[in-house]
Structure 1
Amino acid sequence: MSRFAGQKAVVTGGTHGMGLAIVKALLAEGAEVVLTGRNEKTLEEARTELAGAAAHVVRSDAASTADIAALADLVHRELGHVDHLFVNHGIAEFAELGEVTETSWDRHFAVNTKGAFFTVQALAPLIEEGGSVVFTTVANDVVFPGLSAYSASKEATRAFAHVLAAELLPRRIRVNSVAPGFIETPSMGVPGLSEEERREFVRQGEETTPLRRTGTMAEVAAAALFLAGDATFTTNVEFAVDGGFAQGLVAAH
């Protein structure tokens, strides 16, 4: 029997990249999934690709508490309850110290931090006892110039994930995070890259990752599903999927 047969899941930021990989893995394992996005192009592409599957593609802006409240209402109406919540959405914009604007800083925290927290707050009443929450954070122990707002917003998410793990203990809801390193996605996590910039990003990832390659979206999805469905005696853990990138290993030659 499939691991997630008959179970209900919500994946925010699920219309492309790692989020869509998580959605596809859940569907393949028998789950019914509500997935969200805010880009009309990726929303329509997801609707087309997932047509006929047990998937509900929903436009929802994680920076809007009104949208989050509407999402909770839709999930209650369509699914009734939630077994697994994957808080995967996020944005990343490169800008070094002198280039960071207040608008960009606030946008990172509105989406990556506030949006993540209030998504859990709105959907927690629907999560079944013994269910799970899985955040997508980042392998943040290695510092990159130009990602101060992104890194800070994801570190804040990791911090309150610890608190939520404690607060949801009475309901036996496990709260964990998956922390990707260099993962080969269409945008490499930074929308707007040219094809040349994307190739350079992949090259840097291969050179600096101890396993000497970038990870795949399927590998991140496998880790996320493991934390949700298999790691039933695990909570308050951040699980690195980064080829040893953030663990201080020296790359093999």
Structure 2
Amino acid sequence: MSFKLKNKVAVITGGNSGIGLGTAKLFAAEGAKVTITGRNAATIETAITEIGYDAIGIVSDVININSFEPLYERVKDTFGKIDVLVVNAGIVSLSPIEGVTEEMFDQVIDINYKGVFFTVQKALPYLNNGASIIITSSTVANKGLSGGSVYLSTKAAERALVRAFAAELVGKNIRVNALSPGSIDTPIFKKAGFAQEQEDEMNNFFVSVTPMKRAGTVEEMAKGFLFLASDDSSYMTGGDLLLDGGFRDL
């Protein structure tokens, strides 16, 4: 390892599974002092064991705005102020327009848009000079897919937030970027409640329309987050690192 994040304090929301967990493992191996969050205490404990390196896990729900200050206070008390904030907590919800209920709409908006905004806003007093904020968006932020009206619009909103945050925080020497994955081999559809047949159908569809004809890996995404978190991307802010096997542009 090159220890690109040696002694850096990193917080990863939604770090108890999938891309977030893979990123936490790489950050810890690269020397970071890692804190992960999630809504499930059991999966957090399992994830902490996998990560090692004295990482800590905190149960925290991005829907609850009042949960942020206790989270950031504990990180400060344990490790110090934050150098890297990965805003990764999110959900997938797909439905035809006619099938979207107000409850479904509010849940996706509350987690993928409102939750992202306040994760960043409440973190500002706890960020070090020169901090890097990375928001997990998606390649579908710029696509039109049947059944994805609410989910896709939240990902486009995240991309807009990245640009606005970057413009506002550049004077404070804080960089803000997005990482936009394509189809990645994670349990995201299973966590969203998809039946196995639906999950297989979705995965097969995305592989078929991806020029590289495969899903990406968690490890490939983690390397992208490491680039954005480290000084390797020191001249990048407001940008979007697209890791989607060519899905969006080819």
Quickly name the TM-score band, shorter chain normalised. over 0.9
Alignment of 1:35-184 (within 5 A): 35-50=36-51, 52-140=52-140, 141-184=142-185
| Distance in 2 (alpha carbons) for counterparts of 1:113 and 1:102 | 16
- Which consecutive unaligned segments of at least 5 residues does structure 2 have? none
Q: Does 1:242 align with 2:239?
A: no
Tell me which residue corresponds to 1:222. Answer: 223
Report the secondary structure of 1:168's partner residue.
Answer: helix
Judge conservation of contact 2:29–2:53 (CA < 8 Å) in 1: no
| Distance in 2 (alpha carbons) for counterparts of 1:175 and 1:47 | 26
Shift of 1:189: 7.3
The verdict on how the C-alpha distance between 1:130 and 1:47 changes in structure 2, with shifts beyond 3 A counting, is closer
| Distance in 2 (alpha carbons) for counterparts of 1:159 and 1:10 | 22
Q: CA RMSD in A?
A: 1.5
The verdict on how the C-alpha distance between 1:142 and 1:237 changes in structure 2, with shifts beyond 3 A counting, is same
Report the secondary structure of 1:44's partner residue.
Answer: helix
Judge conservation of contact 1:32–1:54 (CA < 8 Å) in 2: yes
Shift of 1:137: 0.3
| Distance in 1 (alpha carbons) for counterparts of 2:82 and 2:170 | 17
Q: Does 1:9 align with 2:13?
A: no
Judge conservation of contact 1:13–1:35 (CA < 8 Å) in 2: yes
Q: Does 1:19 align with 2:20?
A: yes
Report the secondary structure of 1:183's partner residue.
Answer: coil
Shift of 1:33: 0.7
Shift of 1:41: 3.6
| Distance in 2 (alpha carbons) for counterparts of 1:4 and 1:57 | 19
Shift of 1:195: 2.9
Judge conservation of contact 1:220–1:241 (CA < 8 Å) in 2: yes
Report the secondary structure of 1:184's partner residue.
Answer: coil
Alignment of 1:188-207 (within 5 A): 188=189, 191-207=192-208
Shift of 1:147: 1.6
| Distance in 2 (alpha carbons) for counterparts of 1:217 and 1:120 | 24
Cα deviation 1:172-210 (Å, max 9, x = unaligned)? 111000001111112347522233332222221221001
- Which consecutive unaligned segments of at least 5 residues does structure 1 have? none
TM-score for both structures, normalised by structure 1: 0.93
The verdict on how the C-alpha distance between 1:121 and 1:18 changes in structure 2, with shifts beyond 3 A counting, is same
Greater per-residue helix proportion: 2
Judge conservation of contact 2:25–2:50 (CA < 8 Å) in 1: no
Judge conservation of contact 2:92–2:188 (CA < 8 Å) in 1: no
Report runs of 4+ in structure 1 exceeding 4 Å deviation: none
Judge conservation of contact 1:85–1:132 (CA < 8 Å) in 2: yes
AA aligned to 2:106 is D
Shift of 1:71: 1.1
Shift of 1:109: 1.1
Report the secondary structure of 1:94's partner residue.
Answer: coil
AA aligned to 2:107 is R
Report the secondary structure of 1:86's partner residue.
Answer: strand
| Distance in 2 (alpha carbons) for counterparts of 1:92 and 1:199 | 15
Shift of 1:135: 0.3
AA aligned to 2:234 is T
Report the secondary structure of 1:143's partner residue.
Answer: coil
Judge conservation of contact 2:210–2:247 (CA < 8 Å) in 1: yes
Judge conservation of contact 1:174–1:235 (CA < 8 Å) in 2: yes
Q: Percent same amino acid at aligned positions?
A: 38
Cα deviation 1:127-171 (Å, max 9, x = unaligned)? 111120000001122222112111111211211211110111112
